[in-house]
């Protein structure tokens, strides 16, 4: 039998070859699937890891006065920016700063700190290693941040003597290092030359993350108190306010975005903030930014137009400043903390002017304080008496133009409470509600308050316990609130004050507070802001509608050149409530206010206004209070007035408050009110 020659290749080796062949076929098939069937899918995944979308802020919208005069604008300028990559090291930033310093002339940051110098020195890898070697064994066990903090402290002081060129590099390094991962900062945004822009663009491949662009700077061109009302915008360095950072981040803001931080800039941030430009940045395997491409053009923020007329505002400023300075210089306002005035359109709620000044007690220097018109509150005096009548009508304790006897009010255990004309034994008189407003009767209002407690006045009457007066307090304050006193007015500016209205349970029987409700009835207890009094008189002037005051009248888009474009939103009149009294009773209040100016009684209170350029209606208020000077109690008065005109078709209303003047100051409240209303008549061409 012939022998068969066997293969020299063992079976196991053949099996291995077969297995390898099968694996190669599987691998080639898989590569084919990846390259042919799933190319788009995996390409997008790779791009998602290397291409990231970021956004950059754009200029804010402008702010204009009622006549579309610019008040806050932007100035744009070329800039050099840096977008930080992922996990970019300090050593990488140091190398970039050295390179960029060759192409731009960087002004030295005058605010370089010792820490800035130490951070720069440690950015050098060799310096960092030398400091790491100096750490103790225990210090090396600390967290990275704690180790670095210790190394910062170990940097020798003699290593921090840098020359001017090095300080320029340090300034660049500081700006670069301020950027968070995948965020953009301005490296140089002032005085950037065309040559610098060209050179940086030419060497872009050597400068990862560096780009050219534009920056903007906010300028408030408004003058006087209007400038402070505009408010402020944070810088890029300040970024988002710490206390509001979470809410801003939730809206898509970046931490270094510039936002309005006060007043109008803050209140209308949502409109003024521009629409961000969107960019795609590409990072390499080391996390460095290799390219940056614009994907969506940003847009300047919307513009806002105020209801405030800058010319009228300036005139009101001048009137208040001049008159208050005279009061301060004469000593009449030695203890006065300020003077405030608000003029508004009673029909729309649009603020036409709001101005204020203050001075430190016993100082002759006065300073602007327009925001005090809606933050600072004082005892108002008799201006509030329409609110007391309203409470009486609403509770049904008085009817229409009811007549009551004005006489001194004697409450058991207390001194007499009187009107000004029978304080020293003058004649008592019967007064209608209308006449009570004209001559500013305190007695009439106190009798209304007594009726609210279920009492008819008798000499030496006893008042119920304070806790039993609660319903009367509630009735008065509810009526006052219907006009805007003691409550938020709805003003479109932040941090509005509401004054002080002590709760009944805060009053004390042993301190004889039982008569405070009588004081409340003629404006000698609770405190209100000037803005609240302006809303109060506006409600009377317009027929009983409490309208929310606002400083912005409309929102506008931008024209092609970035200026005022098409109106996109008008701030409509916001009626908060209607005062719950009859038209006949409201007419009594209006007639009482008219007679306070035009009446013929010897006690008519606002006759100084009858010679104004408009036909006016008004209510004065004098609140008696005290101040203490070196332990000595001094009697002072708050002189206030509310006015509207023309009386038969009100276009403007005004509230003026001058707290804590000496009693001999006269009636500067009326002088100032007349001057302001005359200025309105001149500017808006409204006459009798």
Enzyme catalytic residues: 382
* Edge-to-edge strands, sheet with 338-344: 366-368, 351-359, 338-344, 652-661, 632-645, 617-629
The pair of three-digit structure tokens given for residue 56, joined into one six-digit string: 């950059």
The pair of three-digit structure tokens given for residue 671, joined into one six-digit string: 């002088």
Cis peptide before 646 (omega within 30 of 0): yes
The pair of three-digit structure tokens given for residue 386, joined into one six-digit string: 């329409």
Exposed (0-12), middle (13-18) or buried (19+): which is 45, by Cβ within 10 Å? exposed
**Cβ atoms of residues 376 and 529 within 8 Å:** yes
Tell which residue, 497, 427, 400, 417, has the closest CA to residue 463.
417
Tell which residue, 184, 203, 206, has the closest CA to residue 79.
184
d(CA 29, CA 445): 98
> 6: which DSSP letter?
P
The pair of three-digit structure tokens given for residue 282, joined into one six-digit string: 């590409």
Question: Which helix (H) or strand (E) segment is 210 a member of?
Answer: strand 210-220
**260 alpha carbon, distance to own chain's centre:** 8
Question: Which residues contact residue 398 at a Cβ distance below 8 angstroms, ignoring those fewer than 6 apart?
Answer: 389, 392, 404, 433, 448, 451
d(CA 26, CA 14): 18
The pair of three-digit structure tokens given for residue 655, joined into one six-digit string: 């509230």
Give the Cβ contact number of residue 70 at 10 Å: 17
The pair of three-digit structure tokens given for residue 462, joined into one six-digit string: 């006893």
Tell which residue, 484, 488, 534, 487, has the closest CA to residue 316.
534
How would DSSP label each residue in 604-615? Answer: -S-GGGTTSSS-
**Cβ atoms of residues 182 and 51 within 8 Å:** no
């Amino acid at each position: 039998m012939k022998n068969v020659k066997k293969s020299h290749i063992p079976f196991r080796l053949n099996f291995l070859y077969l297995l390898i062949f099968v694996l190669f076929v599987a691998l080639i098939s898989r590569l084919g699937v990846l390259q042919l069937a799933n190319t788009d899918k995996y390409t997008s995944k790779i791009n998602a890891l290397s291409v990231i979308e970021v956004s950059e802020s754009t200029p804010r919208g402008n702010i204009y006065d009622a006549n579309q005069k610019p008040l806050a604008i932007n100035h744009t300028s070329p800039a050099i920016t840096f977008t930080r990559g992922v996990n970019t090291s300090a050593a990488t930033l140091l190398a970039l700063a050295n390179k960029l310093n060759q192409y731009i002339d960087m002004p030295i940051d005058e605010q370089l700190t010792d820490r800035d110098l130490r951070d720069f020195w440690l950015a050098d890898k060799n310096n960092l290693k030398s400091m790491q070697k100096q750490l103790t064994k225990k210090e090396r066990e600390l967290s990275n941040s704690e180790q670095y903090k210790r190394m910062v402290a170990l940097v020798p002081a003699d290593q921090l003597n840098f020359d001017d060129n090095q300080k320029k590099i340090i300034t660049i390094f500081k700006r670069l290092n301020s950027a968070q991962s995948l965020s953009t900062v301005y490296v140089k945004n002032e005085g950037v030359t065309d040559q610098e822009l060209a050179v940086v663009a030419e060497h872009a491949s050597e400068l990862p993350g560096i780009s050219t662009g534009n920056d903007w700077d906010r300028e408030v061109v408004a003058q006087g108190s209007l400038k402070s009302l505009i408010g402020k915008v944070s810088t890029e360095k300040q970024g988002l306010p710490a206390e509001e950072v979470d809410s801003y981040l939730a809206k898509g803001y970046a931490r270094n975005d510039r936002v309005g931080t006060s007043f109008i800039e803050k209140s209308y941030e949502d409109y003024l903030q521009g629409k961000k430009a969107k960019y795609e940045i590409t990072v390499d395997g080391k996390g460095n930014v290799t390219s940056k491409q614009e994907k969506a053009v940003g847009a300047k923020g919307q513009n806002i137009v105020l209801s405030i007329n800058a010319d009228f505002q300036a005139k009101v400023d001048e009137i208040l400043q001049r008159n208050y300075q005279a009061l301060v210089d004469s000593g009449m306002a030695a203890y006065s903390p300020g003077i405030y005035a608000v003029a508004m359109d009673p029909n729309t709620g649009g603020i036409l002017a709001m101005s204020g000044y203050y001075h430190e007690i016993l100082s002759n220097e006065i300073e602007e304080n327009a925001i005090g018109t809606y933050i600072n509150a004082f005892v108002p005096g008799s201006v509030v008496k329409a609110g007391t009548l309203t409470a009486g009508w609403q509770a049904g304790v008085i009817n229409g133009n009811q007549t009551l006897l004005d006489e001194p009010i004697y409450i058991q255990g207390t001194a007499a409470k009187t009107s000004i004309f029978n304080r020293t034994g003058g004649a008592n008189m019967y007064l209608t509600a209308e006449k009570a407003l004209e001559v500013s009767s305190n007695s009439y209002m106190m009798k209304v308050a007594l009726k609210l407690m279920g009492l008819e006045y008798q000499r030496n009457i006893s008042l119920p316990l304070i806790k039993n007066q609660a319903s009367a307090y509630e009735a008065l304050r509810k009526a006052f609130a219907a006009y805007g006193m003691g409550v938020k007015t709805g003003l479109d500016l932040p941090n509005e004050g509401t004054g002080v209205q002590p709760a009944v349970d805060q009053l004390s029987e042993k301190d004889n507070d039982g008569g405070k409700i009588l004081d409340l009835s003629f404006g000698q207890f609770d405190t209100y802001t000037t803005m609240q009094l302006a809303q109060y008189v506006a409600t009377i002037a317009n027929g009983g509608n409490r309208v929310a005051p606002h400083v912005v009248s409309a929102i506008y888009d931008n024209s092609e050149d970035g200026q005022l474009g098409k109106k996109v939103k008008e701030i409509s009149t916001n009626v908060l409530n209607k005062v719950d009294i009859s038209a006949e009773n409201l007419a009594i209040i209006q007639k009482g206010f008219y007679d306070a100016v035009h009446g013929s009684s010897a006690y008519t209170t606002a006759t100084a206004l009858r010679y104004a350029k408009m036909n006016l209606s008004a209510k004065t208020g004098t609140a008696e209070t005290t101040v203490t000077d070196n332990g000595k109690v001094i009697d002072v008065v708050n002189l206030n007035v509310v006015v509207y005109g023309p009386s038969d078709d009100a276009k403007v209303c005004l509230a003026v408050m001058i707290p804590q003047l000496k009693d001999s100051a006269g009636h500067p409240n009326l002088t100032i009110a007349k001057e302001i209303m005359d200025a309105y008549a001149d500017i808006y061409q409204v006459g009798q």
